[in-house]
Amino acid sequence: ISPSELVQATLANIKQLNPDLNAFIAINDHVSAPQTVSQDQVLQAIPLAIKDNILTTDLKTTAGSKMLANFQSVYPATVMEKLLQAGVVNIGKTNMDEFAMGSSTETSYFGVTKNPWNAQKVPGGSSGGSAAAVASGQVLAALGTDTGGSIRQPASFNGIFGIKPTYGRVSRWGVIAFSSSLDQVGVLSRHVADSAQVLQTISGFDQRDNTSSQQAVPDFSQIKADVRGLKVAVPEEFMGAGVDAGVREQVQKGIKLLDQNGALVETVKLPHAQYAVQVYYIIASSEASSNLQRYDGIRYGYRAQDVQNLEDVYVRSRSEGFGDEVKRRIMLGTFALSTGYFDAYFNKAAQVRTLINDDFDKVFQDFDLIVGPTSPTTAFDIGSRIDDPVVMYMNDILTIPANLAGLPAASVPVGFADGMPVGLQMIAPAFKEQTIFNAAQLVE
């Protein structure tokens, strides 16, 4: 099969599946495949899907919002630039919760994506389109972003692998900001090895992102599915009553597999993890309220019609351009940052964040890897949680701690409960993505 045959076959498959699944917001119809493939470029001519909050120059970047429904960037994100240099074909932009705020892809302006395993179920979120595109066999890997679980939870709900690297490992330049101290770009794929290869390509220092790390990037593709002597911690808080029995059973099966292959498994405590959701919603919403100020109807994005004056431009453009969940976060964040409340909310949240991070530091003095469930449940029904934000938010309780601490974390498919996939979460010390790839390769 030639590069252009591969691209044409991929496009034909996407066009056939997308009317039902809705994994893609935009399909790159006119993309041309490279004519030749060189031996050393392992991603040369490989079609990948890109989450629609990552800037591309050949397709619009909407962030799943009416606000940016017609936004065309004039420059690509660093990650996109790196993929294109490696010969990757951007086959399309994937559906997502509006500005990556959500856990089900139901807040997208472009309609919900369906879970390929069961069309009644959500694909998870916010990278639900990327996960569904991979799980349904449309692409072998896709880029996603993860602020509080948006790669790992959809990977778990779709029975695929998904990894969020260490904060700073991958450039955020050209990625539409949600919460700058938490956002990271990562990869979703059917196989662990493919994520390793793509992560390898997009990682590394970028002077255009001032939180980008100078740490050398190891060759992630050198995977050894070997866990002998690996010290594995299972936080008891991750296996409690809030986790569905079916999920716990599959996760225990995965842990047993590590144990049988020579890992040393012990139970530990992460006492402050129980506050992660509350801390996250103050910090993430505060940062979002600041990041989203730029959508004012003047510089770019949606502008309301028939306006009376400047104030009217701002108010009506934002009122009409943003959806309910985004407005809820902006209001929450503006409140938490306002005079008189800053100390009680934002500052307090920042302090508890430090305690959560200290818990991880302590565990990693004695262990190489933390494992547990990715999500307390399997994929839930479309429409069942969208009207209850608190129930929706609590779904992320197991993924958020790794973002608050900036740690690399992944979800590996481990089995099924009631016919839906279950993911095993792996969290490693900063810059130890390789430990995750090695252990995940054994479990997958």
Q: How far is the CB of 399 from ligand GLN (least distance, A)?
A: 7
Q: How far is the CB of 149 from ligand GLN (least distance, A)?
A: 5
Residue 128 near residue 122, CB atoms below 8 Å: yes
Q: Decide whether 122 or 234 has the Cβ nearer to ligand GLN.
A: 122
Q: How many C-beta atoms lie closer than 10 Å to residue 378's C-beta?
A: 25
Taking the complex as a whole, the smallest distance from the CB of residue 134 to ligand GLN amounts, in Å, to 17
Nearest to 397 by CA among 165, 242, 181: 242
- Least distance to ligand GLN from the beta carbon of 183, Å? 7
We find the least distance from the C-beta atom of residue 87 to ligand GLN, in angstroms, to be 29
Q: How far is the CB of 321 from ligand GLN (least distance, A)?
A: 19
Closest CA to 68 of 84, 55, 82, 87: 55
Q: Minimum Å distance from CB 181 to ligand GLN? A: 13
**Smaller CB separation from ligand GLN, 28 or 127:** 127
Q: Is 433 helix (H, G, I), strand (E, B) or coil?
A: helix
**276-291 and 348-366 helices, crossing angle to 10°:** 120
The DSSP code for 170 is B
Token representation of residue 381: 């029904």
Q: In 3-state terms, what secondary structure has residue 184?
A: strand
**Is residue 150 annotated as a catalytic residue, yes or no?**
yes
State which residue, 10 or 374, has the beta carbon closest to ligand GLN. Answer: 374
Q: Please name the residues in contact with 216: beta carbons below 8 A apart, sequence gap of 6 or more.
A: none
User: How far from chain centre, in Å, is Cα 431?
Assistant: 18
213 included as an active-site residue:
no
**Minimum CB distance to ligand GLN, residue 13 (Å):** 27
DSSP assignment of 216-247 equals ----TT------TT-EEEEEGGGGSTTS-HHH
Closest CA to 326 of 182, 178, 183, 146: 178
Q: Choose, from 51, 82, 93, 432, the residue flagged as catalytic.
A: 51
Instruction: Print burial letters for 15-30: b (CB count within 10 Å at least 16), e (below 16).
Output: eebbeebbbbbbbbee
Q: Which residues lie across from 427 on neighbouring strands?
A: 370, 409
C-beta closer to ligand GLN: residue 138 or 147: 147
Nearest to 184 by CA among 196, 161, 168: 168
Task: Measure Cα distances from 59 to 11, 28, 80, 93, 134 in Å.
Answer: 15, 7, 12, 8, 20
Pick 131 or 284: Cβ nearer ligand GLN = 284
State whether the Cα torsion 436-439-443-444 is positive or negative.
Answer: positive
Least spacing, CB of residue 148 vs ligand GLN, in Å = 3
Q: Which is nearer to ligand GLN, 88 or 284 (CB)?
A: 284
Residues engaged in binding ligand GLN (CB under 6 A): 100-103, 126, 146-150, 178, 284, 396
- Of 65, 150, 156, 289, which one is the catalytic site residue? 150
Task: Show the CA angle centred on residue 81, arms to residues 223 and 34, nearest 5°.
Answer: 85
120 bridge partner residues: none
Rg (CA), the chain: 21
User: Is 181 considered catalytic here?
Assistant: no
Cβ proximity to ligand GLN, 147 vs 195, nearer residue: 147
C-beta of 13 vs 181, nearer to ligand GLN: 181
Query: Out of 65, 73, 104, 126, which one is annotated catalytic?
Result: 126
200: helix, coil or strand?
helix
Q: Residue for token digits 């006119």?
A: 30
Residue nearest to ligand GLN (CB): 150
176 vs 440 by CB, closer to ligand GLN: 176
Instruction: Work out whether the CA dihedral 41, 46, 51, 54 comes out positive or negative.
Output: positive
Catalytic center residues: 51, 126, 150
